[in-house]
Amino acid sequence: MSTAAVIECIRFIACIKWLWQHAMNEIDNFNMQKLFRHLFLILFALFFLSFNHVQCQRALSQRINRLKSSITYIDYINMCIFRKTRLCNFLREMNNAKLDETKQDRELWKRGISQFYSNCINALNHQFNTLCIHETTRDYHKKLEQWRLDCYKKINQFFEEKCQEFDQLVADILNKKRDKLSNIQSDISKLIHNKEITQQDIELFTSNISQLNDELKKIEHTNVQFNISPLIINDTLIYLRKTNEKQSDLSILSSIYKEIKYPPESYCPLACNDRLLLIHQAPNLCFMDTEMVIIKQILWSHDAIRDICWSSTLNRFIIIEENNIFLVNENTMSIENVETIEKRRWFSCTCSDTYLFLTTGVRGSSIVEFRLSPLITAMKEWKSPNTCTKDEFINGIVYKNDILALTIKNKIEKTLRLELRSCEKLNHIWSFPFNIICNQNIAFRFCSFNYDEWLLADYENGNLLQITNDKSLKTTISYKAIPYYICLFGSDMLVVSTAKGVNFHKI
């Protein structure tokens, strides 16, 4: 083959490469007519290339070059807009190149740039106008409304207590006077019965009766001392702060803000609502406020705690024991065994507004759904293999935004993964395999985090793992102690439960 033929083949191959790339652009743009035309040219080009027909190759190269030159700046710009990327390489090169353009080229370039940014602005305006923020706003309003109702309830309860206290105070005063009158009456009856009454006794009884009469008259005008302070609403009761994704990055976890030691034989599970954190400090269940102060505690006289979750519908904490389910009421400080749930080997729990979800502590774990109101009633059960395989074990379950997140351990392969399922039908959404070798027979617990992310307590390696909502590992935090349980308390406090105690971190 001559040198000219080789050069022509190289040019021809370059044309075919460009034609193929542009055909792929037409796929992106759904322009099927142009796509088929380009593919037709590619087939002819490959045919002539295989026969080394130089003249045909030259003719077809000229045809492709004419097609290439017919594509305007606007065509390239539209491709970039459709793909939702920045300016493509072509646009950047043209923008930076020092070319001797014609006036027509410059006008086309200006039109292309104008159309590009116009389309971008229009797309952003459309996205802004179609933002679905109402549901998020409604959730926050619901929380504020619940806070208001809780405040009303506490004010009414305080009012009733003070009314009862006042009524008891008045009753005590009247009872003392009534007892005094009864004593006088009893003494008079005894003296009359014994016929030993004297003039001195008569004068004494008369004096006592007169004195008691005066005291009873004074009671009607007696003022009980009332010191009523106005109710002061501190603006910090409700703390509002704009957050961003950088604040959800735990790559540099703050030092321990506060640490609470576990007494011997304490259990590690914990859970929280907007106001309280529930932990176990043997032998008690302890309620802690947002200042990390224990404000209430109640004796826990049952078996080992497997898991804890909060139900806003029941306004109760739910505690999972190996075979029983308990409701803990922080207002009445009572612990109630749920009789409507059968005794099974329960392991983990979570709640939506409507349902309670329990997992079983066996291989090939099941997920049982219970309706919360009016009575806690079993509705459905998902079994293996819909939940996991017969060699797998559901370690933890967390509900968030109509999604059930599961940590699933394979006992044979010693692997662990995070799975997201739809709440209604348990349909698979996505899964994320952890790079963890599961040697110990301990459950992996996790919690939801900001921006639909997830945090896992990796006790095998002593890490906290942050997983994004697009199933990627965002951050690995090396923790100084072995973490077993983890939860987000409020919007700015991360709580980690270790073997020795509970650690609080400001985020």
Q: Tens digit of pLDDT for each residue in 100-118?
A: 455 666 676 677 677 777 8
Say if residues 26 and 75 touch (Cβ distance below 8 Å): no
- Same domain? 406 vs 258: yes
Q: What percent of the chain has pLDDT over 90?
A: 46
Residue whose entry in the numeric block shows the structure tokens 């491709």: 79
Point out which residues pair with 498 in neighbouring strands. Answer: 483
Asked whether residue 192 is assigned to any structural domain, the reply reads no
pLDDT of residue 379: 95
Three-state SS at 373: coil
Element (H, E) at 96: helix 89-96
| CATH number, position 461 | 2.120.10.30
Three-state SS at 93: helix
- Same domain? 122 vs 263: no
Considering 129, 154, 179, which residue would you say is the last residue of a domain?
Answer: 129
Considering 129, 157, 185, which residue would you say is the last residue of a domain?
Answer: 129
Asked whether residue 488 is assigned to any structural domain, the reply reads yes
Say if residues 381 and 355 touch (Cβ distance below 8 Å): no
Distances (CA, A) of 26 to 179, 290, 362: 102, 58, 53
Asked whether residue 195 is assigned to any structural domain, the reply reads no
Asked whether residue 165 is assigned to any structural domain, the reply reads no
**pLDDT tier, 180 (very low <50, low <70, confident <90, very high otherwise):** confident
Higher-scoring residue by pLDDT: 291, 218: 291
pLDDT of residue 294: 95
* Residue whose C-alpha is closest to residue 407's, from 470, 457, 336, 479: 457
274 φ, ψ (degrees, to nearest 5): -70, -20
**pLDDT tier, 467 (very low <50, low <70, confident <90, very high otherwise):** very high
- Same domain? 308 vs 439: yes
Point out which residues pair with 415 in neighbouring strands. Answer: 410
Domain extent at residue 109: 3-129
Say if residues 261 and 497 touch (Cβ distance below 8 Å): no
Asked whether residue 298 is assigned to any structural domain, the reply reads yes
Higher-scoring residue by pLDDT: 390, 80: 390
Asked whether residue 144 is assigned to any structural domain, the reply reads no
**Whether residue 412 has pLDDT greater than 70:** yes
pLDDT of residue 447: 96
pLDDT of residue 120: 80
Q: Which of 48-52, 142-146, 293-297 has the highest mean pLDDT?
A: 293-297
Asked whether residue 187 is assigned to any structural domain, the reply reads no
What phi-psi label fits residue 414: left (phi over 0), alpha (psi between -120 and 50 degrees) or beta? left
How many structural domains comprise the chain? 2
Long-range contacts of the stretch 81-89 (C-beta < 8 A, 24+):
81/116, 81/119, 81/120, 81/123, 82/28, 82/29, 83/28, 87/116
pLDDT of residue 77: 47
pLDDT of residue 198: 74
Determine which of 115-119, 296-300, 436-440 has the lowest per-residue pLDDT on average: 115-119
Residue whose entry in the numeric block shows the structure tokens 């049982």: 368
- Same domain? 357 vs 494: yes
Report the mean per-residue pLDDT for the chain.
Answer: 81
Determine which of 32-36, 306-310, 315-319 has the lowest per-residue pLDDT on average: 32-36
Asked whether residue 193 is assigned to any structural domain, the reply reads no
Considering 129, 155, 187, which residue would you say is the last residue of a domain?
Answer: 129
Say if residues 259 and 504 touch (Cβ distance below 8 Å): yes
Q: What is the mean pLDDT of residues 42-64?
A: 53
